[in-house]
Chains A and B, each alone.
Chain A
Amino acid sequence: MLRYCDAAVRRSADLEARRNAVLNELGEAATIDAAATIANYQRMVRIADGTGIPLDAFTMKSSEPWRDRLGINSFRSRGNTFS
C-alpha cells in the first residue's frame, strides 16, 4: 500500500502495477479508500504549506522525541513553526 502511495504521489511509471498489487491483495474497496486518502492529503499538505500554519501545540510536543530522527526537522516548511 505504501508503494502504491509512493507511485501515486510521484506519478511514477509503476503506478498501475502498484495499484494492481493492492487490488489483488486487499480488493477494490480498500484500493479506493487508499486512493481517496492519498488524494485527501495531497490537498491537506498544500493547504498547510500554502498558508504557513504552524504545527499544532499538542503535535509539537508529542512529536518532539522523534521528529529529528526521521528527518522531519530538516523540511523547509519547518520555518512556518519555528520562525
Chain B
Amino acid sequence: MAFAYTGIDLPIRPKTISSHQRSWEIIASPGRWWNGAERIEIARVGRAARDFEAVGSEILSAAAVFAIQKLVVDNANLNHEWYEEIIAADGMSEDRYVELVAVTVHALSIDEFHRALGLELEPLPDPAPGEPSQQRPPEAEQRRSWPPIVPRTGLHPADAMLYGPLEWGANVISALSLIPENVRWLHDLSEGHYLSFAEMRMPDPLRSISRPQIELIAARVSVLNECFY
C-alpha cells in the first residue's frame, strides 16, 4: 500500500493519506491524452526537474520535458507566447498540456508535503494498463485563460456537481477543466492538504492551525512564487 507512513509517528490526517493514495492511482491510470507509463514519467521528470543534468526522458518529447521543468522551477516566468509554442510542438496539444500540468502539479504537491516534513518521497507507482480515451468534452469553451475550460453553465449531466454546491468558483478551480476529472482531483487533494468546499464556509477550528494562519501561509507561498493570481 502506497503512503503507509509506517514507522512515522506523526498524526497525518486520514483524508490526507487517502488523497495521496488516490492521486497515485490517478497518475498510474490512463488519462484522456497520456497513458499510465507516460503519466508516471511526467511525475518522475517533475520530481527531477531541479536537477537539470539528470532530466531527460526516453518516453516524453523534449517539449513535454521542457514544459514540466518550467512548471516546476520557473513558473513565475510562464507566459502566453511560451504556452503557444509548447502546444504547437510535436506530440503536444492543448489537451495534452492540460493533462501534463495536472499530473505535474499534483505529484509535486505530494512531494512538497513530504519534503516540508523531512519524509522520504513515496516511490512512484507502476503504470496501469490501458490507452487514453482521447475525448475532449464538447462543452469546452475558450474563455480568458490559455487553454479552453468546461464552464459552470452547460455541464454534461454526469458532471453536474463538478464544481460543487457553490454558486461561484474561483478561476483556478476551472483552470484544468478541459479534462473534467482534473477538477475532482483538485478538490480531493485540496481536502487532503487544505480545506474541502464545505470547510471553506465553516468557522474555525477546522485544523490545528487557524484559518487566518492557513491563509497567511497560502499568501506567503504565492508571494515567494511571484504568483499574481
* A12-37 interface (Cβ within 8 A of B): 15-16, 19, 26-37
A7 to chain B: closest CB distance in Å?
Answer: 9
CB-CB under 8 A for A53 and B218, given A43-B189, A79-B79: no
Residues of A contacting B192 with CB < 8 Å? Answer: 36
Q: Check if A29 sits within 8 Å of B113, measured CB to CB.
A: no
Select A5's contact among B83, B98, B221, beta carbons within 8 Å.
B221
- Judge if B6 is at the interface, Cβ distance under 8 Å: no
| Closest residue of B by beta carbon distance from A16 | B118
Q: Check if B209 sits within 8 Å of A30, measured CB to CB.
A: yes
Residues of A contacting B83 with CB < 8 Å? Answer: 52
- Judge if B75 is at the interface, Cβ distance under 8 Å: yes
- Judge if B228 is at the interface, Cβ distance under 8 Å: yes
Select B227's contact among A1, A15, A30, A48, beta carbons within 8 Å.
A48
Residues of B within 8 A of A (CB): 10-13, 16, 50, 71-72, 75-80, 83, 98, 101, 104-106, 108-110, 112-113, 115-118, 144-147, 170-172, 175-176, 186, 189-190, 192-194, 207-209, 213-214, 216-218, 220-229
Q: Check if B209 sits within 8 Å of A42, measured CB to CB.
A: no
CB-CB under 8 A for A32 and B224, given A39-B116, A45-B75, A76-B79: no
Residues of A within 8 A of B (CB): 1-2, 4-6, 8-11, 15-16, 19, 26-56, 70, 72-73, 75-81, 83
- Please list 29 pairs of residues, one from A and one from B, whose beta carbons are closer than 8 Å in the complex, sorted by A's number: A1-B213, A2-B216, A11-B50, A19-B118, A26-B209, A27-B208, A32-B117, A33-B214, A38-B113, A39-B110, A39-B116, A39-B193, A42-B105, A43-B193, A44-B222, A45-B221, A46-B104, A48-B171, A48-B229, A50-B71, A50-B78, A51-B146, A52-B83, A54-B171, A55-B228, A55-B229, A70-B223, A75-B228, A83-B80
CB-CB under 8 A for A36 and B194, given A16-B118, A28-B11, A42-B109: yes
CB-CB under 8 A for A35 and B116, given A44-B172, A46-B71, A48-B172: yes
